[in-house]
Structures are given as C-alpha cells and as structure tokens.
Amino acid sequence: MSRASIRGRTAVVATGLLALVVGGCAADGTPTADTSPLEVPAFELPPTEGILDYQLGGAYDEVDAGSGPVAPDVVVRDATAEPLPGAYSVCYVNGFQTQPDEADRWLDDQEDLLLHDADGGLVVDPDWPDEHVLDPSTAEQRDGILAILGPVVTGCADDGFDAVEIDNLDTWRRFDAIDEDGAHALARAYADLAHDAGLAIAQKNAAEIAPLAAGVLGFDFAVTEECAVFDECSAYTDAYGDHVLQVEYPDALDDAGLTFDDVCALDDPAPLTVLRDRDLVTPDDSGYVYDAC
C-alpha cells in the first residue's frame, strides 16, 4: 500500500464516530435525542510500503537505500526531536522507565513513583542501569506518572508526529513487585491519551504480550527489535498484520549466525524491515549502518 493510500485511510478512536445522545426538547417540551455525530480525533496507521528508518540516536533527513539518498517514508525519532516533514513520524516515549538524562527529576520530586525492592532500595533495569523502573501499581501512582509523561505523549501530537511508541511495556513481567492490573491500566491510559490526541500507538518489543496489547490494551501496531534473531516476528504480524516496523542489529545477527539477507529471505519479516547499528548513530558517524529489505 502506498503512502498516498495510507494518507486517505483513517482509524477512529473506539468504534469510530460516536453518536451523542443528549437531552434536548421539542417545541412541546418533549425530550428529544440529538444524534449528531461526535467528532473525535482520527489516527493513521503506518504505511506498509516504503523506506523505514530508526533514528533514536540522532535525527537526519535522508538514508541511502541503495539507489542514492532518499527521505524515509516512516521514521521513528525520540520525543525530543522533531518529526520528519513528509514522512509518517513515530515519537519514542519511555513509558514505564525513566530516561537516563531525566532520572534526577524523578529522584528529586517523584521518588514515590519509582519501583522499590523489599529493602526499600530503588530498582533499576539490569540491562539499562541508568534507567529506574516506574511503579504503576496504584491509581495514585498512575496519576503521578501520567502527570509527568502524559504531556510528553500529547506533546508528540502537538509537534506533528503521527504516532507514539511506548517502550518497556512489559515491566510487569520482568519485575514481580509491579502489579499486573496496574501496569495494564497505565498502558490503556497511554493508548487512550494517544488516540484522543490523534496519535496511533505502538507496542515496543515484548512479543509474548502482543495479543494482549493489540486485543485488550488498545495498541495499534508494533515496533520490534531483533524479532528475526529470536524467531518471534510472526507473533507481531499475527497480532498487527502488516503494521509492524522491524529493526535488526548486526551484532545480534552475527551471534545468531544470520546475515541481513537471511532476514529478508525469511517467511515472516515485517514489510518494513531495516538493519541499523546498535547505537543508532547518524550517517556522519563511522559506526553508522543502514540497510533495508
């Protein structure tokens, strides 16, 4: 499907345009129903054809997809960056952990929103030791988290992004102290907030919860890293169809004995699949890697 055809396709929050039934009165005072439609912001799903780039390490306007520099059709950038004009732009938000450069803000003012262990110590992600884990277990804590991160999500819409990617959705599976229902409630709150702002919302990784995220929590598409390496790409496409953005990394492919050509030849890669360097650096960096199926 071309980008032009996607631009003409919209998905609408909840079941579409809802009919308002509000109290009105006829001339004789008899209550009447007003069935005029309630306009709600519509959101678009990402294209399933074109050029994808994953730019969390720095924003740039063009990639070399083999035939010279071209502008991506779909791009993922950090919430602190600007969307790429003319592209379907996805805004990255770390929705369940702190960003490394923002930890002090949480520690100084909102430590009660962070996960603590049984001894009262703060919990960090062992794979990302400069990221503290948020604790959405209670309604009060969820409200506190949304007071900080909700404006980040809506700010993505204000800046002109088309969608938001919520990272670390699966913390409740990785940290037993997090209440599962509370984590689900925060995820649904992010989805509602995104949809109300006119944004689609993407699940990031966590293949094992794709059916839940797509079917219950309100997520619209997926961004997956290394699904070919872990042989789990079909988990995402089963849940989201072709609306999956797939990123692979050279080091992980090497460890798995795969080449990127192998990935592109698999039965289940996403329609938009790219190879990027692990640090997601910009093209002027010597470590930059980019290829696409």
Which tens digit of pLDDT belongs to each residue from 225-249? 999 999 999 999 999 999 999 999 9
The pLDDT assigned to 237 comes to 96
Which tens digit of pLDDT belongs to each residue from 91-111? 999 999 999 888 788 988 899
What is the rounded CA–CA span in Å between residue 87 and residue 52?
10
Average pLDDT over residues 121-144: 94
Average pLDDT over residues 123-151: 94
Tell me which of 3-12, 80-89, 173-182 is least confident. 3-12
Which tens digit of pLDDT belongs to each residue from 62-81? 998 777 899 999 999 999 99
Domain range list for the chain: 40-292
Grade residue 34 by pLDDT with cuts at 50, 70 and 90.
very low
The full DSSP string for the chain is --HHHHHT--EESTTSSEEP--EEE-TTS-EEE---EE---EE-PPPSSS-EEE-TT---S-EE-SSSEE--SEEEEETTSPPPTTSEEEEEEE-SB--GGGHHHHHHH-GGGB-B-TTSPBPEETTEEEEEBB---SHHHHHHHHHHHHHHHHHHHHHT-SEEEEE-TTHHHH-TTS-HHHHHHHHHHHHHHHHHTT-EEEEES-GGGHHHIIIII---EEEEESTTTTT-HHHHHHHHTT-EEEEE-HHHHHHHT--HHHHHHSSS--SEEEEE-TT---TTSTT--EEE-
pLDDT tops 80 at residue 44 = yes
The pLDDT assigned to 41 comes to 60
Average pLDDT over residues 113-118: 93
The mean pLDDT of the chain is 87
The pLDDT assigned to 109 comes to 82
The pLDDT assigned to 64 comes to 85
40-292 CATH: 3.20.20
**Torsion angle defined by CA atoms of residues 94, 134, 188 and 193, in that order, rounded to the nearest 10 degrees:** -60
pLDDT tops 50 at residue 13 = no
Residue 6: CB partners within 8 Å, gap ≥ 6? 44, 45, 46, 47, 48, 88
Tell me which of 107-111, 172-176, 223-227, 283-287 is least confident. 107-111
